Chain A
Amino acid sequence: MAALKPSRRIHDLFTVNPHATLQLGLWVALSIVMMTVDHRYHALDGARDVLATAIYPVHYLARLPSDLQNWLSENLAGRAALLQENTRLREKQVFLNVQLQKLTTLEAENRRLRSLLESAVNTPERVLIAELLTVDFDPYRHHILLNRGRQHGVYVGQPALDQQGVIGQIIRADPFTATAILITDPNHALPIQINRTGARTLALGTGHFQELELPHIPNNEDVKVGDVLVTSGMGGRFPRGYPVGTVTKVEFDPGSPFAHIVAKPVAQLDRIREVLLLENVPDAPAPDAPALPGGVAAPKRP
């Protein structure tokens, strides 16, 4: 074989790539230009679309092992286990149906009251279910890739929830996939409200799946461990009243004007499998919105 291609052998031994350093410089320069353009001007979204569509089958392949495992465990589950699960689910459905009846009445009443107040009426929300494809490899950046894209009606800024509460929002929608940023990403801030008192603030991501930070709450504000946080609807991205987290730590530092408050997201952000994408016209909160239904009325402050 070596005799067939002497040029290759000699080439290999002495000069595999005499211009390697120059080549590296060119590729690095190209990368830097591309990153700048991508980051500052988002001018490469078209190219990204094409590439993202091209590698979609790879994501599909990557999911095969876990899909297979799920399929096996579902299909090989014992009859008794299935029956038991069935009973449990049926009980839960009855329970949820009862709650739903109450909710329908409340919703009708709410709409009537809102129309009396001449404030914006909630439009019914449509929900799209997406599944998780991959989690970002960068452990400090909480982005997830979903298996629904523009073709399915996903758009940038769409709120994402799971069964428990808010998980994040869509930051990029490719034709068949979409990237969502989680509320715990260090670059994410979510307008929230403390359900019990109605106090508004932001929930900042910290980079930990179990932690949100609540800045700008004065030391004399009424906040307790266990308080439920809901979306406030400010900013217009998220509809109002979805659960976000619970307060886990309140520290009053006399030396600083604001309290140090930490909350834990209600959604299990590190074990997301399915995501609900809301499609709605967010309602702007009334200027002097009182405490939300379900919470205790706001205490009268002097």
Chain B
Amino acid sequence: MNTVRPTGGWVIAASFLLAFVAASIPLPGELDRFRPDWVAMVLIYWCMVLPYRIGIGTSWLVGLVVDVGRGALLGQHALAFAALAYLTVQTHRRIRVFSPWRQTFSVLVFLLIKQFLVFWISGVIGYPPRDGWYLAPAVGGMIAWPLLFVILRDVRRHFQVT
């Protein structure tokens, strides 16, 4: 990763750190059910624009850190994030040039799959979701995506992360 040519690795690291922090800040009241999974969204972004740097392996590691941070089963988010990265990397050429609407919709689908995987594993170990609310963070993520995309794009351009 730390060869000479790729630059701005610290920007990527900082964006993940900020996402971790943001993910553990609750939203007010009922809105909290829609709290987006910021880490997953930042992951989608980097997988989409820099698929040769942030791929399945890195995503798996990020997921592992999330597992530890949230006290989940070791490997639960790692698996879901690896799948998320796989989907994004395999489709990055298309979703990168999608219109904002279509891109946002793709992100919704990816986030839904990720939520499904995480809660499917929870269900296997004895915590099955009781209702459909566990998919709400994906909807929140969809709403927040355009904003996050613009911010990360500007940050990437400013620091010339390649």
Classify chain B: how many residues form its interface, as a range: 35 or more
Bound CA span A23–B5, Å: 24
Assess whether B83 is interfacial by the CB under 8 Å rule: yes
Bound CA span A144–B124, Å: 21
Bound CA span A21–B85, Å: 11
Assess whether A89 is interfacial by the CB under 8 Å rule: no
Tell me if B79 and A28 are in contact (CB < 8 A): yes
Tell me if A35 and B127 are in contact (CB < 8 A): no
Tell me if B65 and A17 are in contact (CB < 8 A): no
Tell me if A24 and B52 are in contact (CB < 8 A): no
Would A38 and B75 be within 8 Å (CB), given that A24-B82, A58-B69 are in contact? yes
Tell me if A143 and B71 are in contact (CB < 8 A): yes
16 CB-based A-B contacts, threshold 8 Å: A1-B162, A20-B55, A35-B121, A39-B125, A51-B65, A55-B68, A58-B17, A58-B69, A59-B69, A61-B20, A61-B21, A62-B25, A64-B21, A138-B72, A139-B33, A143-B71
Interface 0/1 of A244-275, CB less than 8 Å to B = 00000000000000000000000000000000
Interface 0/1 of A39-62, CB less than 8 Å to B = 100001001100110010011011
Residues of B within 8 A of A (CB): 5, 17, 20-21, 23-26, 33, 37, 51-52, 55-57, 60, 64-65, 68-76, 78-79, 82-83, 86, 89-90, 92, 118-119, 121-122, 125-130, 133-134, 162
Bound CA span A186–B162, Å: 47
Interface of chain A, main secondary structure: helix
Interface 0/1 of A1-41, CB less than 8 Å to B = 10011001001100011001101100110111111001100
- Across the interface, which residues of A come within 8 angstroms of B57, CB to CB? 23, 27
Stretch at the interface among A112-120, A129-137, A147-155, A231-239: A129-137
Residues of A within 8 A of B (CB): 1, 4-5, 8, 11-12, 16-17, 20-21, 23-24, 27-28, 30-35, 38-39, 44, 47-48, 51-52, 55, 58-59, 61-62, 64-66, 133-141, 143, 145, 172, 179, 186-187, 207
- Across the interface, which residues of A come within 8 angstroms of B121, CB to CB? 35
| Closest chain A residue to B122, Cβ basis | A138
| Closest chain B residue to A49, Cβ basis | B68
